[in-house]
Structure 1
Amino acid sequence: MKGLIVCAGKGSRLRPFTLTQPKTLLPVANKPILFYAIEKLADEGIHDIGIVIHPSQEKMICGAAGSGEKFGVSLTYMYQQEPRGIADAVAAAEDFIGQSDFILLLGDNLIKEPLKTLVDRLEHSAACILLTHVNNPQHLGVAEIKGTQIIKLVEKPRFPKSNLAVVGSYAFKPGIFDYIRALTLSDRGELEITDAIQRLIDSGERAAYAITSQYCTDVGTSERWLAANNWMMNEVYGEKNDISEDSTLVNCTVHAPVVIGSDCVLKNCTIGPYVSVMSGAHLEECHLAHSILLRDVTISGTGKEVLAGIFGDEASIIGSSAKGPIAPKIGGDQG
């Protein structure tokens, strides 16, 4: 079995943070989202993994993930020239997949459910799709089920017939490419993977499913990115902190979980809970909680006011003056 991760999307809802790097390299608990997908496939014993990227992403994604050696896998890169949907991205990998069964993951998704659930149910099916109950099915791909099979899939229906949504984790036999090749563009101008699966179902083949109640999300907006960061920090660190030995903290109070990368200097700060700080930050006389700080962020002189949100590369807040990419946390507990 092979693995396939699609990464070629533009990440337009996460601008300005995606103007300088692909969405799949944005950090969650200080690790690129893409790395979680690679590690999840590796944990299932899948070591031959393809990654579909846009040519403009090659330098950054290949530079970050490399050949796969550090994950114990082999990575092969393929190109989707235009972002024309998931099925179009999968089509770019047909030669790589060959006659192998494969797991398809979306590079901006975090899913806790073990992939073994899908692998086991693929044995007697042409496809198996991970589903979850949601409150807003009209914004997602929605499945109708009967017994142990999916009988219908609709992408973003106006009037959903169930609240079971597709969450971006699939298992396929290689016959799926026959149905992808027959697709035409949807009303959204994309080749929809849900349409390919529906063609498979309509031809009489079996599409199985698994329903997960465990955490799953796409990191598609600032709000979901922050929520995913909180969840992953709970998963990885719990009541602990991870502070680089190359960073300096002077007279600081740290409320776990907090992760701080290399070459950071913090003075007279209160940090946490749920704060992840990439390298090169300079923080002084400030209070941060529920935040993601990318590289080389400077915050100084904001006093006891609790700051929460996303602070992009080289963003700065000096007293009441702010510049650079910043997305304040909206609503909820910031302390």
Structure 2
Amino acid sequence: MKIIVPMAGRGSRLRPHTLTVPKPLIPIAGKPIVHRLVEDIAKVLDEKIEEVAFIIGVDFGEKVEKDLIKIAESLGAKASIYYQDKPLGTGHAIMCAKDSLEGPAVIAYADTLFKADFTLDKNADGVIWVKQVGNPYAYGVVKLNEKNHITDLVEKPEEFVSDLAVIGIYYFKDVAVLKNELQTVLDENIIRGGEYQINDGIEGMKQKGLIFVPGQVDEWMDCGNKDVTVETNGRMLKFLHQDGEKLMSDSVKITNSEITEPCFIGENVVLENAKIGPNVSIGDGCVVKDSTIKNSLIQNFSEIKNAKLDNAMIGSFAKFNGDFTSISIGDYSVLE
């Protein structure tokens, strides 16, 4: 089994945090979004992952590539790195990894997290993960027939079609079939909204009689902007806490401080006269003094003093000293 991860977009809605780090590498509960994504997919599939192929931007840099290789290797898989040099859509991004598009595979966009507990239907030619939503008009949705087969993919329908929204994760029994259909999309220059879309490749497969079924998830968590990323961090912390996962390093130094779970606290963090939690992630090497922090995400090696933070997101190597509450400052920023 392979996992294909298109992630060439940096994530403009999450700036300033994505000015220095691509969105899929922003940590959620102490672990990069893309790392949690591929781990959760591996759990659902419950079989050996042979390869993880990442499609990244040409300007992501050597450190990002090394981090992605480590993520694949943590699953016992080979890492492949491909580049998308122009933002020409999901279909184009997938075809940038065409050398890896053979055999059974999951394609997953690295800007979402999920929780699911179901058995993958490997008798189907494909599975499209969906989540029931209250406002289907804002999403791409699937329409089902009486056999629970997907008959239509409709992008942001103006009239009600279905309340099952596509979350951006797909399984293909043989992803080479999708590759052939997407090659046709490229050759015939089938463009929607200025981009080549995966849906046109899937539609070509369906027209040839291949069967797609829905795979429903229990939770779907977005990481699109600062507010929803902080919210997703809190939700993920609750799930991990309920599962009994250890979230605080033994190397944390605590002086006159209290922690309200769930919280993630990384290696060599220093807490002095601090109230932390609930729903707070603090990355490695941070120092927090004379502060109260809840519902917030702080990355690595940052220094927080005299703060009262709620719904805040702070990057790595940042310094914050002040009375602001719902802040969003990126890596290496100083606000004193």
* TM bracket, shorter-chain basis: 0.7 to 0.9
Match of 1:264 in 2: 269
Separation in structure 2 between the aligned mates of residue 166 and residue 140 of structure 1, nearest angstrom = 7
1:240/1:127 Cα in 2 relative to 1: closer, same or farther (>3 Å)? closer
Report the counterpart of residue 288 of structure 2 in structure 1: 283
- Distance (Å, rounded) in 1 between the aligned partners of 2:310 and 2:131: 33
Within 2, Cα distance between the matches of 1:201 and 1:40? 27
Give yes or no for the alignment of 1:156 onto 2:156: yes
How far apart are 1:206 and its partner, in Å? Answer: 2.1
Aligned AA (2:267): S
> Are 2:134 and 1:130 aligned?
no
User: What is the SS of the residue equivalent to 1:228?
Assistant: helix
Structure 1 Cα separation of the partners of residues 214 and 19 of structure 2: 36
Question: Which residue in the other structure is 2:334 paired with?
Answer: none
State the match for 2:64 in structure 1: 61
Q: Counterparts of 1:103-142 in structure 2 under 5 Å?
A: 103-114=106-117, 117-118=119-120, 120=121, 122-123=122-123, 125-142=124-141
**Is residue 307 from structure 1 mapped to residue 310 from structure 2 by the alignment?**
yes
CA-based RMSD? 2.5
Give the distance between the partners of 2:309 and 2:82, measured in 1 at CA: 44
Match of 1:75 in 2: 79
Question: Which sits farther off after the overlay, 49-58 or 267-276?
Answer: 49-58
1:206 aligns with 211
Q: What is the rounded CA distance, in whole Å, between the counterparts of 1:300 and 1:226 in structure 2?
A: 20
1-structure distance, mates of 2:111, 2:15 = 15
Partner Cα distance (1:179, 1:154) in 2:
19
Question: How far apart are 1:143 and its partner, in Å?
Answer: 1.1
Q: 2:256 aligns with which of 251, 255, 259?
A: 251
CA distance 1:70–1:162, shift in 2 (3 Å) = closer
Q: Quick one: structure 1 residues 152 and 270, their matched pair in 2 at CA, closer, same or farther if it must change by over 3 Å?
A: same
Q: Tell me, yes or no, if the aligned pair for 2:6 and 2:56 is still in contact at 8 Å.
A: yes
C-alpha deviations, 1:187-245, integer Å up to 9, x for none? 42221112222232234332222233x01223112222122211221122248863333
Contact 1:126–1:175, Cα closer than 8 Å, also in 2: no
Q: How many residues in Structure 1 have an aligned counterpart in Structure 2? A: 319
Residues 259-312 of structure 1: per-residue CA shift (max 9 Å, x gap): 21123222111000111101232211111001100123222223xx45332112
Summarize deviations over 1:7-26 as a string: whole Å, max 9, x none: 11221111111000011100
SS at 2:228's partner residue? helix
Which range moved further: 203-212 or 141-150?
Answer: 203-212
CA contact (8 A) 1:241 1:258 kept: no
Q: Is the 8 A contact 1:217 1:228 kept in 2?
A: yes
User: What secondary structure, in the 3-state scheme, does the structure 2 residue paired with 1:117 have?
Assistant: coil
1:196 equivalent in structure 2: 201
Q: Identity, % of aligned pairs?
A: 28
Give unmatched runs, 5+ long, in structure 1: 328-335
Which residue of the partner structure matches residue 170 of structure 1? 170
Report the equivalent of 1:331.
none
Q: Measure the CA separation in 1 of the matches of 2:212 and 2:283.
A: 42
Question: Deviation digits for residues 132-167 of structure 1, max 9, x if unmatched?
Answer: 111232332111111221111122334442211111
> In the alignment, which of 36, 42, 55 is matched to residue 52 of structure 1?
55
Using the TM superposition, give the Cα deviation of residue 171 of structure 1 relative to its aligned residue in structure 2, in angstroms: 1.0
Say whether the 8 Å CA contact 2:295–2:311 is kept in structure 1.
yes
**TM-score relative to the length of structure 1:** 0.86
Q: Which moved more, 1:52-61 or 1:8-17?
A: 52-61
**How do 1:14-93 and structure 2 match up within 5 A?**
14-43=14-43, 44-45=46-47, 46-66=49-69, 68-93=72-97
Cα distance change, pair 321–108 in 1 and its aligned pair in 2 (3 A)? closer
| 1:49 maps to amino acid | V
One-letter code aligned to 1:6: P
**Does 2:242 align with 1:242?**
no
Superposed displacement of residue 29, structure 1:
0.4
Q: What letter matches 2:130 in structure 1?
A: L
Residue of structure 1 in register with 2:101 after alignment: 97
- Return the offset for 1:89: 1.6
Letter in 2 for 1:11: G
Q: Could you tell me how far apart the structure 1 residues matched to 2:293 and 2:2 are? A: 42
Query: Which secondary structure does the structure 1 equivalent of 2:278 belong to?
Result: coil
Contact 1:110 1:216 in 2 (8 A): yes
- Counterpart Cα distance in 1 of 2:168 and 2:135: 16
**Cα 1:47–1:58, aligned 2, differ >3 Å: closer, same or farther?**
farther
**Offset, 1:77:** 1.4
Task: Report the Cα offset of residue 41 of structure 1.
Answer: 4.2
